[in-house]
Amino acid sequence: MLFPTLNFGLFFLVVFSVAWALVGHHRLRLAFLTAASYLFYGFWDWRFCALLAASSLGNHLFGRLIFDSPDPQRRKTILTVAIVLNLGCLAVFKYFNFFLESLNELLILLGVGRDLPFLSVLLPVGISFFTFHGISYLVDLYRGTLDRPASALQMLLYISFFPQLVAGPIVRAAHFLPQLRRPVDPAEIPAIRAFLLILGGLFKKVVVANILATELVDPVFRDPQAFGAIDLMLAAYGYAVQIYCDFSAYTDIAIGVAALFGYRFPQNFNQPYRAVGLRDFWRRWHISLSSWLRDYLYISLGGQDRRTRNLMITMLLGGLWHGAAWTFVAWGLLHGAMLVVEHRAAQGRQPLAGWQRGAAVLVTFHLVCLTWILFRAPDLGLALDYLAGFARLSQASQVAQPMVLALLAGGIGAHFLPAGRLDWLERQVATLPRTAQAAALGAAIVLIDRLGPDGVAPFIYFRF
Amino acid sequence: MSYLSQPPRPLTRRPPVESMTGAVRMPLHSVIRMVALASAVTLVLGSQAILDWALALPVHPASDLAVNAADQWHAWMGQVGLTRPAEAARSGFRQLQN
């Protein structure tokens, strides 16, 4: 069930009505939201609901064991076993065939090819996200960031809560579980901001991301050798805007929907293409993942004590988290290497100012676009073909339509709007009568639906 | 995993940035009224989208009912001219695209 569909609209109306009707019955409300979340997940493949429940209850059990154990050594052992099981589950469903395929290719290269036992497994939607939620719970409990374990019901809902289940944001246990412990306040719903985020998200996904995908990015990436340097450059910019609009749309809608149920999610994007460097970029892009990797992996590895090694490992695993393919490995390693270089170059330097800042934004944006080529290409060969195509300078553009160029300019230009734009817009909307606000909301939903191409493509991050 | 040999310590250097800080709050009854009215506007102005949705439902006797109802509804909205704004916006935007 995709957010920008009538199916989800109907689902939302029913769940919203019942959840608020149960506001005086805290446990019943949690149970209902859990059941609704499993129904939402079951729309993709009901068989994976069992995996989701097993992951939640398994982590709940390990959490209790960690909390109840007075022996520090035993706590460490339990945590290690639990993390290994979580990652093992992820490895089987997401990486087993990838590693086997890579091993098979290596054996063939060495002249000792074998028929290896490939598994025919479907990738459960959102497995990377709910695995990270589970690990977050265990480590937060081990570290004492969480003062007590969740009940089984709270744990089931924390892992499965439908707005963030399949593509984040990655909401930490220490951030979300305290919200599930106390009743929600029906007098304090940030509805205008929630609806603005939802409308903005719908527009970014249905109009900007979908049009750029169909008119520009997909045709060029399908056969890069048929296009010249200008089109390849436009498609790289196009993918940068598309993936931002697609993914930030999902998280904006998730944040807005959760707020309408009385829960707060953290911000996940902060105008990433105005970053003045790669470190700044990762503080603005998919913030919930980058801070998760920083706090649970990079710091755990020793942080800046062995910065080069730890950055490379963190970014390699961050790349692999996105998908089981060598393109993601290369993407992660390239980001890791650039972060190492940037760290070294920045040591002892004054902060950038004036034109240097502008130049840094420009360079960072182009480096990010370059790495997006690896991220988007189906394999390394096609990525190399794409990069080689930048030498075809004389070929005229086939895809530079005015609408595409306008969406590109708008998508990049929006990154340079003032940071408080949402607050300002919210204040303006709040001055309108409630009836006008509601009518505008309904009309805007219809308008966005009619402007987009027919059909809705799945969100890019559903694959991860 | 070197962190296992370290004593427990808080992990988060910077707390997550809250998305709803400073947002205007409203009581539930106002939100319900807003959702109900917005749904009604969507139902009235978005009859084409409802028909498209019904036509895409899997074949089933209940789907036939939904298709007939959506078709009838879209015809009524068309008769009173309420399909025009959405279609005008769509065709205008398509012209811009082409």
Give per-residue pLDDT as tens, A172-226. Answer: 888 899 999 999 999 989 999 999 999 999 999 999 999 999 999 999 999 999 9
Residues of B in contact with A447 (CB under 8 A): 86, 89
Contacts of residue B28, Cβ cutoff 8 Å, sequence gap at least 6: A20, A23, A186, A187, A189
CA proximity to A217, closest of A331, A376, A367, A326: A376
CB distance B97–A439 less than 8 Å?
no
Nearest C-alpha of chain B: how many angstroms from A380? 31
Among residues A60, A133, A322, A415, which one is catalytic? A322
Contacts of residue A78, Cβ cutoff 8 Å, sequence gap at least 6: A62, A65, A66, A69
CB distance A143–B10 less than 8 Å?
yes
The answer to whether residue B62 sits within a structural domain is: yes
Strand runs labelled E in chain B: none
Whether residue B98 is predicted with pLDDT greater than 80 in this model: the reply is no
pLDDT, position B14 = 59
Residue of B20, B25, B32, B98 to mutate when probing chain A, most A C-beta within 10 A: B20
The answer to whether residue B81 sits within a structural domain is: yes
Residues of A in contact with B45 (CB under 8 A): 442-443, 446
The answer to whether residue B94 sits within a structural domain is: yes
pLDDT band for position B4 (50/70/90)?
A: very low
CB distance B27–A6 less than 8 Å?
no
Chain A nearest-CA residue for B18: A266
CB distance A296–B11 less than 8 Å?
yes
Residue A335 appears among annotated catalytic residues: no
A126: left (phi over 0), alpha (psi -120 to 50) or beta: left
Nearest C-alpha of chain A: how many angstroms from B92? 9
pLDDT band for position A58 (50/70/90)?
A: very high
Nearest C-alpha of chain A: how many angstroms from B82? 12
CA proximity to A142, closest of A84, A72, A85, A87: A72
Chain A nearest-CA residue for B51: A6
CA A59 to chain centre: 22
pLDDT band for position B7 (50/70/90)?
A: very low
pLDDT, position A82 = 94
CB distance B23–A193 less than 8 Å?
yes
The answer to whether residue B31 sits within a structural domain is: no
A vs B, Cβ pairs < 8 A, gives: 168
The answer to whether residue B66 sits within a structural domain is: yes
Whether residue B9 is predicted with pLDDT greater than 60 in this model: the reply is no
CA–CA separation, A218 and A239 (whole Å): 9
The answer to whether residue B27 sits within a structural domain is: no
In chain B, the number of structural domains is 1
CA–CA separation, A96 and A90 (whole Å): 9
Print the domain residue range for B68: 44-98
Contacts of residue A124, Cβ cutoff 8 Å, sequence gap at least 6: A45, A48, A51, A52, A93
Whether residue A276 is predicted with pLDDT greater than 70 in this model: the reply is yes
For chain B, say whether A450 makes contact (Cβ under 8 Å): yes
Nearest to A451 among B34, B46, B93 (CB): B93
The answer to whether residue B52 sits within a structural domain is: yes
Say how many C-beta atoms besides its own lie within 10 A of residue B49's C-beta.
21
| pLDDT tens by residue, A105-128 | 788 878 776 666 666 667 788 888
Q: What are phi and psi of A401, to 5 degrees?
A: -85, 150
* Residue A365 identity (one-letter amino acid): F
The answer to whether residue B38 sits within a structural domain is: no
Tokens of A218: 């997909």
Residues 60..89 of A with a Cβ closer than 8 Å to B: which? 76, 79-80, 83
Question: Which of A121-130, A288-297, A329-338 reaches the highest mean pLDDT?
Answer: A329-338
Whether residue B3 is predicted with pLDDT greater than 50 in this model: the reply is no
| pLDDT tens by residue, A367-384 | 999 999 999 998 899 999
Give the SS3 label for residue A22: coil
Nearest C-alpha of chain B: how many angstroms from A263? 10
- Residues A215-238, mean pLDDT to the nearest whole number: 93
